[in-house]
Structure 1
Amino acid sequence: MTENHRLTAGDTAPAFTLPDADGKPVSLADYHGRKVIVYFYPAASTPGCTKQACDFRDSLAELGGAGIDVVGISPDKPAKLAKFRDAEQLTFPLLSDPDRSVLMAWGAFGEKTMYGKTVTGVIRSTFLVDEEGKIALAQYNVRATGHVAKLRRELSV
């Protein structure tokens, strides 16, 4: 598998419409006029992804106060996302991308190193999309633990 094109600051964020945990469609266009963090994670209810999602949940008041919304995207089906949301009391949209087309468009699916081996999968990635739909910040291969705190420092939130 070849390396996907990676997004950088100034690129137009690839449009998407994906079902949320309840099967309702959510589009990037729904956030036009607001900043939104779009983050990609490998699998709901796994330790790292749970830690990251809970860190976003616990930072929502501060992020929202700074005019920033949060959306998480994984290949999980809506039913699994609903269980994850309910178990962890997540209050931001979790979107389902089972065919990985949005993950690929954002460069968040491809080869990565895991435990010393090269595998193909979801590349844990975080993006800040500005009010006009442009990428303001693109981060690939982020760590699940401590990432949200680091992101808040970088965004001065």
Structure 2
Amino acid sequence: MTENVRLAPGDTAPDFTLPTADGGTLALSSLRGRKVILYAYPAAMTPGCTTQACDFRDSLASLTAHGYAVVGISPDGAAKLAKFTERDALTFPLVGDEDKAVLKAYGAYGEKKNYGKTVQGVIRSTFVIDEKGQIEHAFYNVKATGHVAKLRRDLGLN
């Protein structure tokens, strides 16, 4: 099994400009001066990803009050992201990385185990990026359910 890139605290977060669900684009650099929670998920509209997105949606006011912006990233196209945003009333930006270049730069795409088989895919991950664009935390292979609560504990927000 080949080793994926892994980001660590202190690394510079790879910058990106990607299409958003609303037809615009989002540049990570446009969020400088704010703390950012960037979470990578495999596919919009799937059960685990919906649970995770709704957890972030339900915690957004509290995260925002603590100075965090939340951005979700997946290999989905803008149309699917728009449908996901509308269906689940998501109130934070989702960006699409269809060629997976950004996901790979973050170490969030590569070989993973799925039901005992080694497959290529999105590795569910969350990155906390500080105001200067440095990685503060990099969590790989996170669980969809309960992750936001654990993240809040890890960040001292409970």
* Counterpart secondary structure, 1:36: strand
Alignment-derived partner of residue 55 in structure 2: 55
Structure 2 equivalent of residue 33 of structure 1: 33
Q: Which runs of 5+ in 1 are unaligned?
A: none
Alignment of 1:130 onto 2:135? no
After TM superposition, give the deviation of residue 33 of structure 1 in Å.
Answer: 0.4
In 2, the alpha carbon distance for the partners of 1:9 and 1:147 equals 19
Shift of 1:25: 1.1
Letter in 2 for 1:106: Y
Task: Letter of the 1:97 partner, please give it.
Answer: D
Q: Among the aligned pairs, what percent are the same residue?
A: 67
> Which runs of structure 2 are paired with 1:1-157 in the superposition (5 Å)?
2-157=2-157
In structure 2, how many angstroms separate the alpha carbons of the residues matched to 1:3 and 1:87?
36
Q: Structure 1: how far apart are the matches of 2:105 and 2:2?
A: 13
Normalising by structure 1, report the TM-score.
0.98
Query: TM-score by structure 2 length?
Result: 0.98
The offset of 1:156, in angstroms, is 1.4
> After TM superposition, which residue ranges in structure 1, 4 or more long, deviate above 6 angstroms?
none
Q: How many angstroms apart in 2 are the aligned matches of 1:23 and 1:136?
A: 30
* Number of equivalent positions: 157
Task: Write the distance in 2 (CA, Å) between the matches of 1:23 and 1:4.
Answer: 31
Letter in 2 for 1:96: G
Give the partner amino acid of 2:50.
Answer: T
Q: CA RMSD in A?
A: 0.8
CA distance in 1: counterparts of 2:126 and 2:116, whole angstroms:
23
User: Using the alignment, how far apart are the partners of 1:39 and 1:70 within structure 2?
Assistant: 8
Q: Secondary structure at the match of 1:85?
A: helix
